Amino acid sequence: MMNFKGKFEGFIFYKNILILLRGSALAQFIPLLISPLIARLYSPQEFGVLALFTSISTIFGSVINGRYEQALVLVESDEEAKHVTILSILISAIASIFLFIAFILCGDFILSFLNIEELDFWFYLIPLVVFSIGVFNTLNFYNLRQKNFKTISNSEVSRSSSFAVIQLVFPFFKNGLYGLIIGKVISSCVAPLYLLQKSKFNFFSFEPSELKKVAKRYIDFPKFTNLSVLLNNLSVNSINLLIPVLYSTTLLGLYSLMYRVMAAPFAFLGNSISQVFLEEVSRQKQEIGNAYALTKRLMIQLSVISILSYGLSYFFLEDLFAFVYGEEWRMSGVIAKCLIPFFIFKFIVSPLTSIHTAFEKQKWSFYLQLLMFVLSLASIFLAYFNEWSFLNYLFLFGAVMSVFYFFRIIIVLKIAKNKSLNE
């Protein structure tokens, strides 16, 4: 007998992915569409400074709320969800204030150490961006719980389009970094404000005792998931922080444009899949006790897409970057070719790592992110102390990370079976 329920639920799963994908695709397509113009308005060095600003904001923003927002897909009642949301945003606000104070006290030292004196007073706007990231992540998960996929999708478009417009228009009024940094700051605030307006959330109706209750109930998120996410972002963004220190800001600019282009597929497709996958895996865990069939099927589909797209791109990347962005950016294509295996495996694995949250395996996620962080730092310092070129370092980094992500595939499949990872 045909399983109509299973087919219908499968249809809804992919429909929700497509709704999010539409917004994410537009959000990624807009900057990609204008990137040839942007690359001619700003220099690789200016792109490098923006990459540092973005990396620091991302590192702090990803953990500013203790990752309590991820508990929103697990809570059972709307009342509990409301208090988790308020707790998450409250933590973001308090932590951002302390971060601003720390920047005032240590700002000059940090700017000097990272060799980015060009940031100047823009550096002190990072806490504002960090807070906006915390609010956005929280309201994003709140709307995910409410299945407001269209609202989430539109918020991504609003953030991307505002950044694009400011980047394009500002060079006509002011030279240098202004358009890049101002665009980043304003666009970071646009998306959470849009979600706030659409959610119509009441932040002033809560019980302090309930805040303490949910904080204790979901304490594993700040204890383990928060550290895991921090290590993951440090693993990715520590490269951006160390390239100008160990190599140059110009190389960072070339690397950052390459990463923006090459990461676009898993930035819009991967993030959309990850959010819907988390919600669907949580449901299947409650109903049938595992999510192995869904995870395996999705992993195979992602593997086919990744190998075909990234694998074929290897043969024309260098000329493509030179043609689209100008000869000044040809080196970005050379850099991209060094990291093709890394991008193939990352595209496959990244959307599926939210399974750690669904099955409450935050501790294992932390261990894996710690390993990734160590491997990432070991790669760049090994290359530096052996006086390897930047390209040789990237070959090493790509190979090490590919092996790591292959190992993560095995872990994800085992979690999907709802079996102990010690077996």
- CA–CA dist 214, 85 (Å, integer): 10
Residue 108's identity, in one-letter code, is D
Tokens of 162: 């505002």
What does R_g of the chain's alpha carbons equal in angstroms? 21
Per-residue pLDDT of the chain (423 residues; tens, 9 = 90+): 445 344 444 555 556 656 655 666 666 677 777 788 888 888 888 888 888 888 899 889 988 988 888 888 777 787 888 888 888 899 999 999 999 999 998 878 888 777 777 777 788 899 999 999 999 888 888 887 777 777 777 777 777 777 777 777 766 555 667 778 888 888 888 888 888 887 776 767 777 888 888 888 888 788 777 777 777 777 778 788 888 888 888 899 999 889 888 887 766 666 667 767 777 787 788 778 788 888 888 889 889 988 988 888 888 889 999 998 888 899 999 999 999 999 999 988 888 888 887 777 777 877 888 888 889 889 988 988 898 999 999 999 999 999 999 999 998 888 888 765 555
Residue 404's identity, in one-letter code, is F
**What local confidence, expressed as pLDDT, does residue 2 receive?**
42
Determine whether 363 is exposed, middle or buried from the number of CB atoms within 10 Å of its CB (0-12, 13-18, 19+): middle
- CA–CA dist 111, 130 (Å, integer): 18
Residue 191's identity, in one-letter code, is A
Residue 286: CA count within 13 A, CB half-sphere: 10
- CA–CA dist 188, 378 (Å, integer): 32
Query: Domains of the chain: which residue ranges?
Result: 4-416
Contacts of 100 (CB under 8 A, 6+ apart): 124, 127
Alpha helices in 62-120 (DSSP H): 78-113
**What local confidence, expressed as pLDDT, does residue 13 receive?**
55
Q: How many residues does the chain have?
A: 423
Q: How far is CA 53 from CA 81, 167, 317, in A?
A: 33, 15, 27
**What local confidence, expressed as pLDDT, does residue 412 receive?**
87
